[in-house]
Structure 1
Amino acid sequence: MTLALFLEQLLNGVQLGLTLFLMAAGLTLVFGVMGLINLAHGSLYMTGAFVCATVAGWTGSFWAGLLAGALAAAAVGALVEVSVIRRLYARDHLDQVLATFALILIFSEGARLVFGDRPLWLDIPPALSGTLALPGGAEYPLYRLAIIAIGLGLAGGLWWLINRTRIGMQIRAGEADREMIAALGVDIRRLYTLVFALGAGLAGLAGALVGALQSVQVGMGEPVLILAFVVIVIGGIGSIRGALAGAVLVGVIDTMGRVFLPAGFGLFMPPAEATATGSALASMLIYLVMALILALKPKGLFPADA
């Protein structure tokens, strides 16, 4: 293993982690404030990617597409909250799971009708199409570094919003006692719509950013949603700090495991067996880490009530 390879995969893991953070931040806020299990969060990620690819194709501007993807996902999220989700807050979690699973099917078929079955592709903006030299001689894409910078910037912005603003105070109070803040005159319905739209916008932004690294296609949000749930369980439900820590941990462990476990087994096993064994263990690694963390800290690394 060379230094260049290690640094490259470490940065890939951080980039994946910060993309997961954008997904998990909204998911953990929605669950923490509203107590809602939203399986359709990945569909909002897909919505952002499709709108970004479409608008970028129309305008020739990736940045216009990026903004449109985030805003469209936020708007769709607000509409879904008002029309569907609002009726689920008083229902048990099984009803929430069934209803939001139905939304996945609706979003998937709707995307096929609007955008078609063929994958869409996004071009990396010219300003970020180059590379940066890493120690050891490797070249790392500027676009991935930009995703890292955007993720860190939004993490700082979310921390400021939650901890230093009036709306953030209401969100934190809503996590602790929603009946009390409603009795104090806070419009709890408007607060819920705002939180849901914020989470949807972050998911849409994540989908738009990733759309330049992979194809934009129906169903692209479900695999990411599973990882986002792992992130919030590891970090602590309702905690933005926990979502960031859990996302980076999951991203780095998953990336490093997929690259280095097959290589490690290759030191004492035939190449085909080493690849199969290493890949199988790598796909299980984050779940083993989650089980270990929950055994030691059942509420996650940084629970919201800590």
Structure 2
Amino acid sequence: MSMILLIEQVLNGLQFGVMLFVMAAGLTLVFGVMGLINLAHGSLYMIGAFAAATVAGMTGSFLLALAASLAAAAAAGAIVEVVVIRRLYARDHLDQVLATFALILIFSEGTRWLFGSFPLFLDVPDWLRGPVSLPGGILYPAYRLAIIGVGLAVALGLWALIARTRLGIRIRAGESDREMIAALGVDISKLYTLVFALGAALAGLAGALVGAIQSVQVGMGEPVMILAFVVIVIGGIGSIKGALVASLLVGVTDTLGGVLLPVAFAQIMQPSNAMLVGSALASMLIYILMAVVLVVRPSGLYGARA
């Protein structure tokens, strides 16, 4: 394997990782602040993708499509929190899992009823089409580089929000002692609705960004939802920094594993068998990584120690 191809695959892993971060950041924020297991987070990712594809088809504007994904997912998240989630905070995790799983079915069938079963497509804008020339003679798609940039900007924005604003202070206080900040006069219900809507908006943005790479279809959020849970477990529940580091680890591990393992096994077995064994092992790598991290640090890389 050439060095250029290896660097391209590392960049692919980074792009996959920052997309996972945008998806997982909202999930870990909700999980850390509210203690809520939200299986329907992937459905909000799907809503954002469908909203973006619809608006882009109507207006031809990719930026308006991204704005629509944020607005639609945030609105859906706020409605879900007020109507359903608010009644689950005092319930055990099994009730939360069952209720949010039901939301997956409702969102999936509702989306299929509105848009049909056929996939939609979101085109990459003209100003992000084509490759960018990087040092070393590497040509890499401009849109994938843009996803990396957006993901890093989201990470910086979340850090500034959590660490440098009054709202961030309330969010951190709500994570530590929700009864105390309620006693100090903070409307905990409004705070939770805002946090849930913010997490939903990030999921919708991730769906819109990925929608220009793959098709937009019903059920697209479920596979990435599994990876998002892996990310927050590795990074530590409630840690934005942990979600970023874990997302990059998962993205690079998954991408390089799928490329390098078949090549490595081809040195000791037939190419067809090497591809089969290498691909199977590559699909397990991120779960092996999660197991190793949990053995060494049961609370995750940046999770709070009990």
1:162–1:169 contact (8 Å) kept in structure 2: yes
2:193 aligned residue: 193
Amino acid in the other structure paired with 1:97: V
Q: Secondary structure, in 3 states, of the residue corresponding to 1:155?
A: helix
2:79 aligned residue: 79
2:264 aligned residue: 264
2:40–2:104 contact (8 Å) kept in structure 1: yes
CA distance in 2, matches of 1:36, 1:186: 20
1:284 aligned residue: 284
Higher mean alpha-carbon deviation, 128-137 vs 288-297, is at 128-137
1:297 aligned residue: 297
2:14 aligned residue: 14
Q: Secondary structure, in 3 states, of the residue corresponding to 1:133?
A: strand
CA distance in 1, matches of 2:212, 2:95: 36
Q: Secondary structure, in 3 states, of the residue corresponding to 1:30?
A: helix
1:34 aligns with 2:34: yes
1:3–1:135 contact (8 Å) kept in structure 2: no
1:170 aligned residue: 170
Amino acid in the other structure paired with 1:52: A
Shift of 1:63: 1.1
1:47–1:204 contact (8 Å) kept in structure 2: yes
Q: Secondary structure, in 3 states, of the residue corresponding to 1:206?
A: helix
CA distance in 2, matches of 1:244, 1:195: 18
Q: Secondary structure, in 3 states, of the residue corresponding to 1:300?
A: coil
Matches within 5 A, 1:1-306: 1-304=1-304
Shift of 1:231: 0.2
Q: Gapped runs of 5+ residues in structure 2?
A: none
2:236–2:300 contact (8 Å) kept in structure 1: yes
CA distance in 1, matches of 2:239, 2:161: 13
1:46–1:207 contact (8 Å) kept in structure 2: yes
1:4–1:134 contact (8 Å) kept in structure 2: no
The Cα offsets for residues 27-85 of structure 1, whole Å up to 9 and x where unpaired, read as 01111111100000000000000000000000011111111011100010000000000
Shift of 1:133: 2.2
TM-score for the superposition, normalised by structure 1: 0.98
1:70–1:201 contact (8 Å) kept in structure 2: yes
CA distance in 1, matches of 2:305, 2:267: 46
CA distance in 1, matches of 2:262, 2:70: 37
TM-score for the superposition, normalised by structure 2: 0.98
Higher mean alpha-carbon deviation, 3-12 vs 136-145, is at 136-145
Shift of 1:288: 0.3
CA distance in 2, matches of 1:280, 1:196: 36
Amino acid in the other structure paired with 1:104: I
Amino acid in the other structure paired with 2:259: V
Shift of 1:138: 3.5
2:299–2:305 contact (8 Å) kept in structure 1: no
Amino acid in the other structure paired with 1:70: L
Identity of aligned residues (%): 71
Amino acid in the other structure paired with 1:99: A
Q: Secondary structure, in 3 states, of the residue corresponding to 2:50?
A: helix
1:77–1:200 contact (8 Å) kept in structure 2: yes
CA distance in 2, matches of 1:137, 1:144: 17
Amino acid in the other structure paired with 1:33: V
- Where do 4+ consecutive residues of structure 1 move more than 2 Å? 133-138
